[in-house]
Structure 1
Amino acid sequence: MTTRPANVLASVDLGSNSFRLQICENNNGQLKVIDSFKQMVRFAAGLDEQKILSEESQLRAIECLARFGERLHGFHPEQVRVVATNTFRVAKNIAQFIPKAEAALGFPIDVIAGREEARLIYTGVVHTLPPKGEQMLVIDIGGGSTEFVIGSELKPSHTESLPLGCVTYSMRFFQNKIGNKDFSAAVSAARNEIQRIAKQMKEAGWDLAVGTSGSAKSIRDVLAAEYPQDADITLDGMKKLAERIIDAGSVKKAKFTDLKAERIEVFAGGLAVMMAAFEELGIKKMMVTEAALRDGVFYDLIGRNLNEDMRDQTVAEFQKRYHVSTNQAERVANTAQIFMESLCLARKVPVQEANKWKQLINWAARLHEIGVDIAHTGYHKHSAYILENADMPGFSRKEQTTLAHLVLGHRGDTKKMNDIIGNNDILWYAVLSLRLAALFCRARLPLALPEQTQLRHESGKGFTLKISAEWLKQHPLIDDALNYESSQWQKLTAPLTTQRV
């Protein structure tokens, strides 16, 4: 199989309306698009009232992903990032769909939170449209959600995501002939949602409003064709478009110039949401940029490859926010990675997979005590809850869930992890490595493990910790703790034995 040059990267954006694949060359931070694919999957249209995805919508998605997967042959995992947005967040049967989707595509799918989506959108905009000191309000109307971002630097100051989308609003309000009452109801419903964030957005203020993605571009294109004197989106211009739709009874019958056929079904929903944003936030005019989520994914991916990982910044910020002892966190992180490396080497875990888990353990160790800021009793449960539910820029939902599982499992009864982990050996390795690290570092003092310390796993026999007997005599509290830890693992199918040598 032909491999791709290291500077060739791919992003896959699994939106609620369309799926997009884009391939770029990275030339010292300058991106050159060399290939792109887009398919209007209308994924959100497959959701019923109970938020269950239909078989038909799943089939459309799988067929598209299989085509994308064929184009991604030869790419290494570190060259590809796949992000999924609102429909993947809300669909109740998405857990059953994702394995099939990943198999078709050939790469893991990161379901990202709304605010993470907003951050990535802003990252794409700020790299392609530098604000030059101006405060920007960026609005991205997707198929199932709308992101609102304010910022003037590389990192935004405000990120919000609301459940407003061109697909969901078109389905909700514009299934039949469109009348004035329908349009007013759609705009009012959207304004009610936007009202939740309007005060803080207005207080932050902005100098420039920027629209991104399909709805904003289609509104701009139609306005430019119908009213050439207007280069930007304005509320008056959008009202004229709405009146024309209402007079005609549908978007199709309005026969707008420069409205792509693929946008006809969802145009009214996007227009209503944009009008609501203008009215509720008091926006005067908006320019439109070609930058979008996929561009932000590329720049984020470049940052990860340059060791400028947003996730590292987030971990540092969480440590500061929750008053974590960074010295203790570092001790636990370093010790946990030693144990994890020992397990991975013994079982010949592929280097890339081992490095991924060592990185996850590092973050989990650095954040395992954030719950102490809430209460010391059961702090690991508080820590896990925060990691599962907080907005963590740079992290996918799957990564956050894994961190939460690691932190939840780092202390307490091991039986609680049986249902969570099941037969996932590598996750058991990570949990045990973090548990032992917390145990060995409990004195919160500098600690050097004795030479020849090894942690091994044999299928069907469990774990064996090989460690100096003399060293344990000098550390009786750790020796006692190891005995108790062994008793905890006796409850599982993979017991832990301490071999004193």
Structure 2
Amino acid sequence: MAEMSPPDTIRRTGGKRGKSSGKVADFRYKRPSQSEKRAQDSRALPKSAVARGESPRRPPARDTVAQRQAYAALDLGTNNCRLLIARPSGENFTVIDAFSRVVRLGEDLAGSGRLSAAAMERALCALHVCAEKLRRRNVQLARSVATEACRRAVNGPEFIERVRSETGIALDIISAQEEARLAVLGCHVLLEQDHGPAVIFDIGGGSTELVLIEPGERVPRIIDWASVPWGVVSLTDTVGRAEGDDAAARLARYARMRSLVADSFAPFAARISDAAHAEGIRLLGTSGTVTTLASLHLELQQYDRRAVDGLIVPASAMRAINARLSAMAPGDRRKLPCIGADRADLVVAGCAILDSILDIWPADRLGVADRGIREGILRSLMAGTPAPARAAR
């Protein structure tokens, strides 16, 4: 398992959207007072709910501090809010709490350029749950990140400040490069053992990151990477929903998705074309798309992480599932196990993105990872990766 993060060889140059990436927020949570509990009930947690570095009122015995110390990683994406809390366990870690909720933060963002009031409210509800878990689990060090939806939205920074004010959680809008780096760090251990080049990809809600790597001593070396603004939410919203369409219209819609994604992938595809024809190329995906498709491949009646995480699937089998889902009526997709109403529309966009990845990186097999950014954050925190200084406020 990785003990250090892959080299971040291309530093972010900055931009008007988002603050410096790599920020690590050090929160020492204390149990809220009675007044704070009343404030939580009214959905307005005061800043005093997060202690500013002072020692706990009753510190644990010295020999139990390391055992009890907990770390947390929070990932607020375009479609989901996910939290992982863990304690070190040798070179690895043991998960002690987790949370995941579909919040659809990027809903309608493609058309408006803004986070909607309803979407922000859904996300805040989930983040209040996360804040309570962080306090309850005595988290000593946490890093909370926001990705494409907050990068793209004109009111993204405003929303980040509202989250800090109401929940005490300091979200960092990370760059696409940092998102890709963390995904690699979190899942690269699941790559098939070989000496050939590999591509690790993360199909998100608002963007897709692709990273070309080659083996390193402890962690892979990042050779090239790309991020395109197509995820399952942004691509679905741009092309439109398929409710009521006939089979021909659904296939035309899928072809449109494939065309948009292929155009965005073209520069990266040209840069990696030589590596794509090397012997022993490997492919690993981390996202709800690949884990859902893997569940269908296994014909699971309900999702089972133990069966999916680390699974190797023939690329041809994934292509066949993509073809089946893209032609299927939305109502029929909703009836499939492991898809349901939440993913019935979005999974088709994920299939289009995956097909386009297989076009430019024709590996025979696809590795599936039910891990990624959060695990990458935890490994960075536990390895003691230094954080850049926080900007003065």
Q: TM-score, normalised by structure 2?
A: 0.71
Residue 163 of structure 2 is aligned to residue 101 of structure 1: yes
Distance 1:86 1:251 in 2: 29
Distance 2:340 2:379 in 1: 29
Residue 149 of structure 2 is aligned to residue 87 of structure 1: yes
Structure 1 residues 48, 203: CA separation in 2 closer, same or farther (over 3 Å shift)?
closer
Letter of the aligned partner of 1:64 in structure 2? A
Match of 2:294 among 205, 220, 245: 220
Match of 1:298 among 378, 381, 389: 378
Match of 2:226 among 146, 153, 160: 160
Match of 1:126 among 188, 191, 203: 188
Letter of the aligned partner of 2:102 in structure 1? M
3-state DSSP of counterpart to 1:79: strand
Correspondence 1:17-416 to 2 at 5 A: 17-73=79-135, 79-127=141-189, 133-151=195-213, 152-153=215-216, 154=219, 155-176=221-242, 177=245, 179-205=250-276, 207-225=281-299, 232-234=312-314, 236-250=316-330, 252-253=332-333, 255-303=335-383, 305=384, 308-309=385-386, 360=389, 402=391
Distance 1:105 1:29 in 2: 32
* Structure of greater relative contact order (alpha carbons < 8 Å, 6+ residues apart): 2
Q: Which protein shows a greater Rg?
A: 1
Contact 1:119–1:159 under 8 Å retained in 2: no
Deviations 1:206-246 (A, max 9, x none): 621011121111111112229xxxx7445543443344345
Aligned length: 310
Distance 1:296 1:241 in 2: 29
Instruction: Write 1 or 2 for the structure with the bigger share of helix.
Output: 1
Deviations 1:281-325 (A, max 9, x none): 33333111222111001111122x3xx43x6xxxxxxxxxxxxxx
- Residue segments in structure 1 that go unaligned for 5+ positions in a row: 312-358, 361-398, 403-425, 428-501
Q: TM-score, normalised by structure 1?
A: 0.57
Deviations 1:64-105 (A, max 9, x none): 111111111167785110011111110011122111112233
CA RMSD of aligned residues (A): 2.8
Instruction: Write 1 or 2 for the structure with the bigger share of strand.
Output: 2
Deviations 1:236-278 (A, max 9, x none): 4344334434543226447434435432231111111111111
Letter of the aligned partner of 1:272 in structure 2? A
Deviations 1:110-140 (A, max 9, x none): 1111011000000111356585655321111
Contact 2:186–2:373 under 8 Å retained in 1: yes
Distance 1:208 1:283 in 2: 6
Counterpart of 1:459?
A: none
Structure 1 residues 290, 246: CA separation in 2 closer, same or farther (over 3 Å shift)?
closer
3-state DSSP of counterpart to 1:36: strand
